[in-house]
């Protein structure tokens, strides 16, 4: 299997290098450029450690140029009509559709996710460009009745200015399009800082944006390795030319950015970490719950902010659920994302691999039992970890209290509905939650009491462009997607026209 995968990857690397979408330079002010220092860093394939490409390792000097480029472009872009912005976004969407197969290959190469999942991400990410191309012409103000006959009250939306977008590695296409599209739709310009693990997808997206005719300076991208990332983030937060920050990533980093933005009281959108409960009640359809669990947990090898994290199963269906779940997990093929039938790819990097190993080790040391998996899969590759189910998880374990971001299910048995809600809500995170029940009264009762920004009821896949995406508590501020997505990039101007006698 390893030899076959190696040959497949080598062949795809050769093919990909011939793609016009694969760049070794970054894009600022309509030009493909190197870092001012000429430094580069390597982008690795997590499936086998091979070097896919190199990209510029930029610093705050390069970032300042990107910010100034976006600020200059804003003076023109803000005066374009909604119809014009809609046209550019639609052109971009059409090119994204045309190139979706190549985009998916790049995603699989640099993130490791199975190719069918990469295609799913491309379709999902493209949907935001389509959606906001339509929303551009539907941002509406108000005329409000005044308390006097001599005044007229007008309320309008205006673009905030330059938006700095800091995106994660786990969905390198969708996290960019979900932020860029509403920003462009309302007249903002952008500086994009993609994750150091997956910059190639971001560069491919900007290649297609350029082909779509989006004017120079409207979109700019800053690539950097881990060493320069904190300084770049600080500059984006503190620059007086940047009007707003949108960040998707860990709560820890989000808090740092939150503090740094306070100096300029910037518009801030944060989509941070989760600790999603997945509750199975006695009233559930167990077969549906098992399928939902596999979807909610193992997509992208568990590396998703909305992935189910704490599995709570009521004692009446506990044995049935665990037995069927283990049988289902046995069928999950692990391997290179380009191999047919693979459901579980590699973890993104060594740090993530070691984290998963430590979480499972800590749980077992505190009395938990591994039913299936629980070990690395070195015969496939250094960053592969077998899909795992752990039972009898102690609530004091790291596996239960921390966001896992890996292919591990930890299960806790509970007795009553009240107990399940106490456990589910006993966290400072509140991004997503899932529960299964066929009792309609219980569905509305539990839904009302769960503390999360997004809830899946008898459903393990909840993300869609039409719905507002975001959490509560320390899982973030603001919403992405839906008609509300544009609100993060506009400010409201109230105008009072008086003396209308």
Residue 501 belongs to a domain: no
What is the structure's pLDDT at 6?
53
- As a whole number of angstroms, the distance between CA 157 and CA 272 comes to 27
**Which one of the listed residues 305, 336, 386, 451 is annotated catalytic?**
305
User: Catalytic residue at 382?
Assistant: no
- 260 and 143 share one domain: yes
Helix (H, G, I), strand (E, B) or coil at 447: helix
Q: Which residues pair with 305 in a beta bridge?
A: none
What is the structure's pLDDT at 440?
98
- As a whole number of angstroms, the distance between CA 121 and CA 117 comes to 6
Alpha helices in 331-397 (DSSP H): 350-365
CATH code, 224: 3.40.605.10
Task: Note down the domain range covering 481.
Answer: 2-272+476-493
User: Phi first, then psi: what are they for 21, rounded to 5°?
Assistant: -85, -15
Residue 379 belongs to a domain: yes
**Which one of the listed residues 117, 271, 386, 488 is annotated catalytic?**
271
Length of the chain: 501
Residue 470 belongs to a domain: no
- 135 and 197 share one domain: yes
Pairing of strands 276-280, 308-314: parallel
What is the structure's pLDDT at 348?
97
User: Which sign, positive or negative, has the C-alpha torsion 474, 175, 436, 447?
Assistant: positive
Pairing of strands 490-497, 152-159: antiparallel
- 217 and 299 share one domain: no
- 211 and 71 share one domain: yes
**b/e string for 34-51 if b means 16 or more Cβ within 10 A?**
bbeeebbbebbbbbbeee
- 256 and 314 share one domain: no
- How many domains are there within the chain? 2
- 226 and 285 share one domain: no
Residue 366 belongs to a domain: yes
CATH code, 398: 3.40.309.10
Identify the CA nearest to 245 among candidates 11, 476, 451. Answer: 476
- As a whole number of angstroms, the distance between CA 402 and CA 396 comes to 10
Residue 435 belongs to a domain: yes
Helix (H, G, I), strand (E, B) or coil at 393: coil
- 251 and 287 share one domain: no
User: Phi first, then psi: what are they for 402, rounded to 5°?
Assistant: -105, 155
Packed helices 115-135 and 100-111: angle between N→C axes, nearest 10 degrees: 120
- 352 and 417 share one domain: yes
Residue 500 belongs to a domain: no
Residue 498 belongs to a domain: no
- 248 and 371 share one domain: no
- 257 and 386 share one domain: no
Q: Which residues pair with 42 in a beta bridge?
A: 54
Residue 184 near residue 85 (C-beta atoms within 8 A): yes
What is the pTM assigned to this prediction?
A: 0.94
Residue 499 belongs to a domain: no
Give me the tens of pLDDT residue by residue for the chain, a chain 501 residues long. 333 455 555 555 555 555 679 999 999 999 999 999 999 999 999 999 999 999 999 999 999 999 999 999 999 999 999 999 999 999 999 999 999 999 999 999 999 999 999 999 999 999 999 999 999 999 999 999 999 999 999 999 999 999 999 999 999 999 999 999 999 999 999 999 999 999 999 999 999 999 999 999 999 999 999 999 999 999 999 999 999 999 999 999 999 999 999 989 999 999 999 999 999 999 999 999 999 999 999 999 999 999 999 999 999 999 999 999 999 999 999 999 999 999 999 999 999 999 999 999 999 999 999 999 999 999 999 999 999 999 999 989 999 999 999 999 999 999 999 999 999 999 999 999 999 999 999 999 999 999 999 999 999 999 999 999 999 999 999 999 999 999 999 999 999 999 998
- 92 and 148 share one domain: yes
What is the structure's pLDDT at 395?
87
- As a whole number of angstroms, the distance between CA 300 and CA 338 comes to 14
- As a whole number of angstroms, the distance between CA 216 and CA 243 comes to 19
- As a whole number of angstroms, the distance between CA 470 and CA 460 comes to 16
Pairing of strands 472-473, 454-457: unpaired
- 228 and 320 share one domain: no
User: Which sign, positive or negative, has the C-alpha torsion 266, 271, 277, 281?
Assistant: positive
User: Catalytic residue at 271?
Assistant: yes
């Amino acid at each position: 299997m390893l030899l076959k995968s190696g040959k497949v990857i080598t062949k795809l690397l050769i093919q990909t290098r011939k793609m016009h979408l694969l760049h070794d330079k970054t894009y600022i002010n309509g030009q493909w450029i190197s870092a001012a220092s000429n430094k580069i860093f390597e982008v690795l394939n997590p499936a086998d450690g091979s070097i896919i490409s190199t990209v510029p390792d930029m610093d705050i000097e390069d970032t300042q140029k990107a910010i100034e480029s976006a600020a200059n472009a804003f003076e023109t872009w803000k005066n374009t009509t909604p119809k014009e912005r809609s046209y550019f976004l639609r052109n971009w969407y059409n090119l994204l559709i045309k190139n979706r197969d190549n985009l998916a290959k790049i995603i699989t190469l640099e993130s490791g996710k199975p190719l069918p999942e990469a295609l799913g991400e491309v379709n999902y990410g493209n949907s935001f460009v389509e959606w906001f191309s339509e929303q551009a012409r539907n941002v509406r103000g108000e005329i409000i009745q005044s308390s006097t006959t001599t005044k007229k009250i007008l309320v309008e939306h205006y673009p905030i200015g330059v938006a700095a977008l800091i995106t994660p590695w786990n969905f390198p296409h969708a996290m960019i399009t979900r932020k860029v599209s509403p920003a462009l739709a309302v007249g903002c310009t952008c500086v994009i800082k993609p994750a150091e693990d997956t910059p190639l997808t971001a560069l491919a997206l900007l290649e297609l944006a350029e082909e779509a005719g989006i004017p120079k300076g409207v979109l700019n991208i800053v690539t950097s390795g881990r060493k320069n990332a904190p300084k770049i983030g600080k500059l984006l937060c503190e620059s007086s030319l940047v009007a707003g920050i949108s960040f998707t990533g860990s709560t820890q980093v989000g808090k740092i950015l939150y503090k740094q933005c306070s100096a300029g009281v910037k518009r801030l959108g944060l989509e941070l970490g989760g600790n999603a409960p997945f509750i199975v009640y006695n009233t559930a359809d167990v077969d549906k719950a098992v399928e939902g669990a596999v979807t909610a947990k193992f997509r992208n090898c568990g590396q998703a902010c909305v992935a189910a994290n704490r599995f709570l199963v009521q004692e009446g269906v506990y044995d049935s659920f665990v037995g069927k779940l283990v049988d289902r997990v046995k069928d999950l093929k692990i391997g290179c994302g380009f191999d047919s039938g693979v459901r579980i790819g590699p973890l993104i990097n060594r740090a993530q691999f070691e984290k998963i190993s430590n979480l499972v080790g800590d749980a077992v040391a505190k009395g938990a039992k591994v039913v299936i998996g629980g070990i690395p899969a070195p015969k496939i590759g250094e960053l592969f970890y077998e899909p795992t189910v752990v039972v009898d998880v102690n609530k004091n374990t790291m596996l239960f209290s921390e966001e896992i971001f890996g292919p591990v299910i930890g299960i806790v048995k509970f007795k009553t509905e009240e107990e399940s809600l106490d456990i589910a809500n006993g966290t400072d995170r509140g991004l997503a939650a899932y529960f299964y029940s066929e009792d309609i009264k219980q569905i509305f009762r539990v839904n009302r009491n769960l503390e999360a920004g997004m809830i899946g009821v008898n459903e393990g896949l909840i993300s869609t462009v039409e719905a507002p995406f975001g959490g509560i508590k320390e899982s973030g501020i603001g919403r992405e997607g839906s008609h509300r997505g544009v609100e993060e990039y506009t400010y409201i101007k109230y105008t009072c026209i008086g003396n209308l006698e």
